[in-house]
Amino acid sequence: MKMAWKEMKKNKLRYTILGSIVFLISLLTFIISGLTNGLSQDNASLIKNLPDGTFYMEEEADETYSFSSLSEEQQQEITEAQPEAAFFSIQMGNFIDTSDKQRSVAYIAATNSSYYPQVNFGEVILDASLEEEGIAVGDEITNEQWDQPLTVAGFVNHEKFSHSAAAFINPDDFQALFHTDTMQIAFVADSVAQNSNEATAFKELQAFSNSEFLNTIPSYSAEQLSLNMIVIFLLVISGMLFAIFFYMINVQKLGIYGILKAIGVKTGKLFQMMWAQMFIISVISLILSALISQAFQLLAPGGMPFHLTWPATGQLSLVFIIIGFIGATLSGIQIKRVEPMQAIQQGEM
Amino acid sequence: MSLFTMKNVRKTFAHGEVKEEILKGIDVTLPEGKITALTGASGSGKSTLLTIAAGLQTASDGQISFEQQELTSMRSEELRQIRAKQFGFIFQFAHLVPFLTVEEQLALMLETAESSLSKQEQKKEIRQVLELVDMWKRKNAYPPSLSGGEKQRVAVARAIIHSPKVLFADEPTASLDSKRSQEVMRLIQRLSKERHITVLMVTHDMDMLDYVDHVIEMRDGKIIQEDSIH
């Protein structure tokens, strides 16, 4: 470690360049990852904010929540087996605010649910993003197809679905507005489920875990897959960069390695030196990237979907270090191969 | 039983289908605590013999024994340990580690040799050896700031700091002027006597033979003459 640090101090420019590139790649990865999570939240925070549990939809709905319709009997059956089951329906729609502006929202009506706000008849509770856009408590929102306007009763934080703000309404309003008297989805949280070891099976109903249910949201999995691939590519590129840079650095140091091997220094010690350098560079670069990406999260415009938690940053950093370790080790194969005689015959370094 | 002996050592290099025998059955016994010089024209095989003796490359055939251990049949890790603990090396160029100070070069050698000395004793030993080669005042200098003679004196100090039993020197004065060459040779001679180190040295400079005890002359991969001088 001491030798690794001494060499870095004597070759500041070389290692600063390597560190800068690792810093830029890791910052880019953190930012893309933040945007991925942000878009994921934007697409499905309504579902992601729920605790782990089991979702039920009609089997005939073919995994499309909007086609699902749980009859009174089915709701009764679920409630008998799982008294804490919650029922809700989602319908994409729009409304016109007091300034005559049309806005897209996801209407949600829930019964028997502590996960979503309980709303009085004739009222609506909106996602806080709409408050930032000028809608206030007491405003009346309308729709050409409605007989009566709804009054904004409050706002909730981070409740979005399919990139639209959530609008929680009373189940009776939902029935009147969308001409339906059934609920689409049942949800049983693991923490309150009876026989919580495995999900209860119901006839003609299909059960989904949280992640399985997220994938039924149109475009969710395709969007996440694309963004995750970008993050994975950046991680792979960073590993290759480590390999290429350490390869170049090692080529320049083959003479020193050869002489050190000639006088009896263990090959393992030379690898340790390289790993220590990789670790020092990575840790400094990752700390800087993490701080900057967190600062970006604080300063980013409110409408930008960016969400990067410290645990997620920590996990990504760990992956970076593991990939850097693999890259540096691959480049270090030369150290193993270098023959002392080559270095001695090379002349003065 | 001698400290270091070589019997019927052969080395063949293959260039495609053409094979070239560089060493043609060498028998050498190094006199313990003395300096043996390998001389001969360029291409006579003296440097190859020295590097094979030092375990830096393998012989094609023959036996090399050090303290009754057969070096030619050792695994590479065992050989590394012998190189680190029992052998010292001085090359034509100093080959110092550019990012370590003079003092740290010696500390690294002690660490490599897994010295049993305590940290305090190691510091004392480093000081003693650096004073011996007159480099203590330059202990904090880095190699790029040292002159050729200074670098070679540090290389000598590095080669003996761990009290090796055999010192291998491949043209240790070739990169130095005659004054510096004599200084370095006097130093090797003194260290060999004071620390009872057996030295095998390659040189093409006949003036350096004034400092050695035993001379082996080689030609075309064979020993043609062997003399004890002192």
Distance CA A346, CA A81 (A): 81
The larger pLDDT score, comparing residue B191 to residue B158, is at B158
pLDDT digits (tens, 9 = 90+) for B147-182: 988 998 999 999 989 989 999 999 888 877 888 788
Mean predicted confidence (pLDDT) in B54-63: 91
Task: Report yes or no: B206 at the A interface, CB cutoff 8 Å.
Answer: no
User: Taking CB atoms and an 8 Å cutoff, what residues of chain A touch B112?
Assistant: 263-266
B168 neighbors B53 (Cβ within 8 angstroms): yes
Q: Using CB atoms, which residue from A6, A7, A264 is nearest to B80? A: A264
Please name the CATH architecture into which domain B30-56+76-228 falls: 3-Layer(aba) Sandwich (3.40)
Tell me which residue of B199, B195, B192 sits closest to B216, measured CA to CA: B199
Structure tokens that stand for B1 in this block:
């039983």
User: Inter-chain contact B83–A266, Cβ cutoff 8 Å?
Assistant: no
Beta-strand pair A123-127/A150-156: parallel
Indicate whether B22 pLDDT > 70: yes
Mean predicted confidence (pLDDT) in B138-152: 93
Mean predicted confidence (pLDDT) in B35-56: 92
- What is the block-wise mean pLDDT of chain A (349 residues), using blocks of 10 residues? 87 90 90 88 86 91 88 88 89 89 92 84 92 90 84 90 91 87 88 70 88 86 85 84 82 85 90 91 94 92 85 91 87 83 68
Distance CA A117, CA A88 (A): 12
A22 neighbors A282 (Cβ within 8 angstroms): yes
Task: Report yes or no: B41 at the A interface, CB cutoff 8 Å.
Answer: no
User: Taking CB atoms and an 8 Å cutoff, what residues of chain A touch B104?
Assistant: 6
Q: Using CB atoms, which residue from B89, B97, B158 is nearest to A256? A: B97
In this prediction, what percent of chain B has a pLDDT beyond 90? 63
* Residue B1: predicted pLDDT: 59
User: Inter-chain contact B175–A349, Cβ cutoff 8 Å?
Assistant: no
Please name every residue paired with A168 in a beta bridge, in sequence order, or none if there are none: A108, A125
SS3 A94: strand
User: What sign results for the dihedral spanned by CA atoms B46, B52, B58, B61?
Assistant: positive
Distance CA B176, CA A162 (A): 78
Distance from CA of A262 to the nearest CA of B (A): 7
Distance CA A290, CA A286 (A): 6
User: Inter-chain contact A341–B51, Cβ cutoff 8 Å?
Assistant: yes
pLDDT band, very low/low/confident/very high, at B220 (cuts 50, 70, 90): very high
User: Inter-chain contact B100–A264, Cβ cutoff 8 Å?
Assistant: no
Q: Using CB atoms, which residue from B98, B112, B170 is nearest to A263? A: B112
Distance from CA of A281 to the nearest CA of B (A): 18
User: Inter-chain contact A3–B108, Cβ cutoff 8 Å?
Assistant: yes
SS3 A39: helix
Assembly ipTM: 0.84
Residues of A near B (Cβ–Cβ under 8 Å) read: 3, 6-7, 9-11, 255-256, 259-266, 339-341, 343-344, 347-349
* Residue A66: predicted pLDDT: 86
Q: Using CB atoms, which residue from A6, A341, A349 is nearest to B100? A: A6
User: Inter-chain contact A348–B93, Cβ cutoff 8 Å?
Assistant: yes
Task: Report yes or no: B79 at the A interface, CB cutoff 8 Å.
Answer: no
Task: Report yes or no: B170 at the A interface, CB cutoff 8 Å.
Answer: yes
The whole-chain average pLDDT of chain A stands at 87
User: Taking CB atoms and an 8 Å cutoff, what residues of chain A touch B176?
Assistant: none
User: Inter-chain contact A6–B87, Cβ cutoff 8 Å?
Assistant: no
User: Taking CB atoms and an 8 Å cutoff, what residues of chain B touch A11?
Assistant: 99
User: Inter-chain contact B89–A348, Cβ cutoff 8 Å?
Assistant: no
B35 neighbors B212 (Cβ within 8 angstroms): yes
Structure tokens that stand for A242 in this block:
């480590």
* Residue A242: predicted pLDDT: 76
Task: Report yes or no: B158 at the A interface, CB cutoff 8 Å.
Answer: yes
User: Inter-chain contact A344–B91, Cβ cutoff 8 Å?
Assistant: yes
User: Inter-chain contact B56–A264, Cβ cutoff 8 Å?
Assistant: no
Task: Report yes or no: B174 at the A interface, CB cutoff 8 Å.
Answer: no
Q: How many CA atoms lie within 13 A of A324 on its CB side?
A: 26
In this prediction, what percent of chain B has a pLDDT beyond 70? 99
Phi/psi region, residue B196 (left: phi>0; alpha: psi -120 to 50; beta: rest), is left
Q: Using CB atoms, which residue from A10, A256, A341 is nearest to B57? A: A341
Mean predicted confidence (pLDDT) in B74-83: 91
* Residue B151: predicted pLDDT: 92
Structure tokens that stand for A63 in this block:
């995994």
Distance CA A168, CA A141 (A): 13
Nearest residue in chain B measured CA to CA from A264? B84
**Chain A to chain B Cβ contacts (< 8 Å):** 62
pLDDT band, very low/low/confident/very high, at B2 (cuts 50, 70, 90): confident
B150 neighbors B135 (Cβ within 8 angstroms): yes
Q: In residues, how long is chain B?
A: 230
Distance from CA of B93 to the nearest CA of A (A): 5
Question: What's the DSSP call for residue B78?
Answer: H
* Residue B50: predicted pLDDT: 93
Distance CA A236, CA A324 (A): 9
Distance from CA of A160 to the nearest CA of B (A): 57
Mean predicted confidence (pLDDT) in B67-85: 90
A348 neighbors B175 (Cβ within 8 angstroms): yes
Distance CA B88, CA A72 (A): 91
E-strand spans in chain B?
4-15, 18-30, 35-40, 61-66, 69-70, 87-90, 166-170, 198-202, 214-219, 222-228
A312 sits in which H/E element: helix A310-331
Which of B56, B85, B96 to substitute to test the interface with A, most A CBs within 10 Å?
B56
Distance from CA of B51 to the nearest CA of A (A): 8
